[in-house]
Amino acid sequence: MATQQYKAWSVVIMSTLAFTVCFMIWMMFAVIGIPIKDSLGLNETQFGILVATPVLTGSLARLPLGMWTDKWGGRLVFFILMLSTVIPIWLITYATEYWQFLILGLFVGIAGGSFTVGIAYCARWFPKDQQGTAMGIFGAGNTGSAVTKLVAPMIVVSYGWTMVPRVYAVLMLITAIIFWFFTFTDPSHKVAKSVTVSEQLAALKDPRVWRYSQYYSIVFGGYVALSLWMTKYYISEYGFDLKTAAVLAAAFSIPGGLLRAVGGYFSDKFGAHTITWWVLWVALVCLFFLSYPQTTFTIKTIDGDATFHFGLNSTLFTIFMFTLGIAFAIGKASVFKYISDDYPQNIGVVSGVVGLAGGLGGFLMPIMFGMLVDLTGIRSSAFMLMFGIVWVSLMWMYFTEVRPVYADLHIQQERLRQQTQPQ
């Protein structure tokens, strides 16, 4: 009979594999959306809506999926979720109109809800001091975005974009079957069936949940948005072909997924607050440089006109994106460490709320990226938007977490000083 430790690690490994495949499918339009855009003659805003549509349902589904996971168990919910997407994925092959892609994208997007299911499913198999690591390992399934950028372009070039949904539909079906046979259920992980929906949703009244949602909207939502946008960005900004652009975009996606486990370990060791604070500062610095548009200006001198050009070349741009991917990976794990620390009995619901906020960020930002490009003509305006969101997150964290700590420390020092003063 399998030991509890064997079951726990089997659940984590299989859930990570399943989440990787789900994330591959969730990010599929980041690659096949480019030839679809060309064939349908879409503008930047329409392209943004196309690639973001699956993210919408994957986000909205996270809260109910989290509640169902708490009540019915992660294994059953995860298995049914994967099976429900197989047919919609296959049908993308036969879509010819813009609205058809949007409708099918909504159904395929359910795959993105797998994160909330898996994070709660995996966390409950481990003690509190190991939950950050376990959730980080599971979250490494975000590398599915990078896998899609590496695999899907080769399929597109060799067989056409219509082959990608067919391959992914078969892959999802096989993964669901393997997942079912190598995972386990522990009845003690479910909340009591007498717990009502209103009782589960009581956590929504806690302001900490909304603060964590804000953090996650940038570290995860920003990751999703840029994973969808970067292949197109490299093509438009630097003139690369599809395969080269996808490989360079993977330089952001790979660390953004793989290093999430490292973020979980650091969060267990140093605390969620400390890690998240520094993650946001690193992201802010990276986004400051990424925001600067390609600029050429002329200065009139005594010797004539002197022209200067400023802007990131593709190498520097990729280095900053790689660094940003590392920061986001660690931040995604640290935010969920907050949740496992503060809501050990309600992980599914709270992670559903926070995951929904992150997913909505991933849905809205690509659309806003497209709108900003259409309105301003500046491609780096996408990073300007993200810079502002990170700044808001930092200020929120400062006033609600950092400043109160220093205020309490000052009060304690003042009391100690008064007690040690000679009478």
What are the tens digits of pLDDT across the range 283-322?
999 999 999 888 888 888 888 888 888 888 999 999 999 9
Q: Does domain 4-190+208-417 have CATH number 1.10.510.10?
A: no
Structure token pair of residue 239: 């003139």
Structure token pair of residue 227: 């994973």
Pairing of strands 295-301, 304-310: antiparallel
**Phi, psi at 313, each rounded to 5°:** -80, 175
In Å, how far from its chain's centre is CA 406? 32
d(CA 393, CA 340): 20
**In this structure, are residues 310 and 219 in contact, taking their beta carbons and an 8 Å threshold?**
no
Res 200 pLDDT > 60: no
**Residue type present at position 90:** W
| CA nearest neighbour of 242 among 253, 231, 251, 233 | 231
Residue 196: band (very low, low, confident or very high) from pLDDT cuts 50, 70, 90: low
According to the model, what pLDDT value does residue 264 have? 77
d(CA 65, CA 117): 6
Q: Which residue has the higher pLDDT, 260 or 182?
A: 182
d(CA 200, CA 303): 73
Label each residue of 170-221 as H, E or C: HHHHHHHHHHHHCCCCCHHHCCCCCCCHHHHHHHHHCHHHHHHHHHHHHHCH
d(CA 398, CA 302): 50
- Give domain limits for the chain: 4-190+208-417
Residue 262: band (very low, low, confident or very high) from pLDDT cuts 50, 70, 90: confident
Q: How far is CA 164 from CA 79, 98, 100, 156, 341, in A?
A: 22, 18, 17, 7, 40
What are the tens digits of pLDDT across the range 372-390?
988 998 989 999 999 999 9
What are the tens digits of pLDDT across the range 311-332?
889 999 999 999 999 999 899 8
Q: Could you give the 3-state DSSP secondary structure of residue 310? A: strand
What are the tens digits of pLDDT across the range 68-119?
887 788 899 999 999 999 999 999 999 999 999 999 999 999 998 888 888 8
What are the tens digits of pLDDT across the range 341-355?
777 766 667 877 887
d(CA 362, CA 53): 10
